[in-house]
Amino acid sequence: MANPIIDQAAKRVEANMKQNQKKKGLPKPRTITEVSAERIRERTQEALAPSTGYPELDKIIRGFIPGHLYTLTGDTNVGKTTLACNFAVRIARQNNKVLYFALEPENTVVDYLASVKQNKRFDELTHDDIQDDSGHIFIYGKEEVKTLDDMVNIIDVSDETYDLIIIDHVGYFLSGGKNWLQEQSNAVKKLAGLAKRKKVAIMIIAHLRKKSSSQKKDYMPTSDDIAGSGAFKQDSTEVVIVTRDLLDAENSTMEYGSTGYINVMKTKCGPNGRVRINFQEMKANIFSDGELQHRMNMSGSFNRGDNEWQDNVKDALF
């Protein structure tokens, strides 16, 4: 005959065993001491992070911080690769190392880099200019990197310490099939984890989705406009959108002018912000307003108004 007391005790034992099994798979909460120790390590990395090369931008994102994932995006032909190459050269000038995955620009990336370094027009570059090698920038093309896993493995097993890794662009690895959104999300998460694990700053270049016919040509994009999944916004520590002023926005032309902005739409380091930048005709150089003002002051030129500013820029750079 069954004993109800024994049966109840057996059920309690079974319930406790199941509860303990569940607990085994659960993470334990961290103490303040543990969290603060990790935060102190992060703050040390922030203090040692190399400058972006733009002091005004450093005030917003505090340089390229190891462990952070940066998404750089903008409209088609707005200058994403150009800005990335400016970052690369400016990092190299600090005697730091850059790894550049030139998947979209391929070999022409050396033209951009040379134009920045030499401050020359693309059509003025010589063979010597594009061969100039300081030994601080290293490049992979799509011939060496076939898949995202190839790239991740290259970064993961490398014994070299890089201060910035640029992926131009992450969409190269997506198949375009029906599961491409999930592919994209997985790719961004994988790169975010890699940046944190390897303690390296990674910048991925992404595209914005095409504007709808109802949007104004000078519409200011946000991180919600990045093509594909929300992983860029969710998993990136910083989201940067480069924009340029249109020559004739009222007539809806898409011809860009020489002024634009680096817009920080998300940052882990503080409030968002923007830095005004200046593009050079047929050159890859991008200068901030502060840099141009300094150069103009050093050359004896002064800013006498916004209309004269652009006229003085060329003189200030030589």
Predicted confidence (pLDDT) per residue in 126-138, tens digit = 999 999 999 999 9
Give me the mean pLDDT over the 77-82 stretch: 95
Task: Tell me the pLDDT tens digit for each residue of 4-63.
Answer: 776 676 677 666 666 666 667 778 888 999 899 888 888 887 888 999 999 999 999 999
Q: Which has more pLDDT, 311 or 263?
A: 263
Domain boundaries, the chain: 40-284, 290-318
Rounded percentage of the chain residues whose pLDDT exceeds 70: 82
> What does pLDDT average to over the chain?
85
Burial of 260 (0-12, 13-18, 19+ CB in 10 A): buried
pLDDT of residue 12: 72
CA distances from 263 to 89, 119, 237 (A): 20, 24, 14
For residue 169, whether the previous peptide bond is cis, meaning omega lies within 30 degrees of 0, is yes
Contact (Cβ atoms closer than 8 angstroms) between residue 172 and residue 104: yes
Is residue 210's pLDDT more than 70? yes
Q: Count CB-CB contacts under 10 A for residue 249.
A: 13
Provide the pLDDT for residue 303.
Answer: 52
Token readout for 177 is 């099939």
**Could you tell me the pTM of the whole model?**
0.84
For residue 315, what pLDDT band results from cuts at 50, 70 and 90?
A: very low
Mention every residue, 6+ apart, whose C-beta is less than 8 A from residue 194.
152, 155, 156, 200, 202
- Rounded to whole angstroms, the maximal C-alpha distance in the chain is 106
- Residue 312 confidence (pLDDT) above 50: no
The whole-number pLDDT of residue 241 equals 96
Residue 122 reports pLDDT greater than 80: yes
The least confident of 59-73, 210-224, 240-254, 273-287 is 210-224
> Do 67 and 200 form a contact (C-beta atoms < 8 A)?
yes
Higher pLDDT, 222 or 69: 69
Segment 220-249 shows an average pLDDT of 85
Q: Is the pLDDT of residue 104 over 60?
A: yes
Q: What are phi and psi of 45, to 5 degrees?
A: -65, -40
- Contact indicator for 174, 188 with CB cutoff of 8 Å: no
Least confident of 41-55, 62-76, 120-134, 151-165: 41-55
Q: How far apart are CA 248 and CA 222, in angstroms?
A: 22
Q: Does domain 40-284 have CATH number 3.40.50.150?
A: no
DSSP H helices in the chain: 4-24, 32-48, 55-61, 80-92, 109-118, 127-131, 148-157, 180-198, 231-235, 289-298, 306-316
pLDDT at 113 (0 to 100)? 98
Between CA 148 and CA 19 the distance in angstroms is 40
Top-confidence residue, 176 or 31: 31
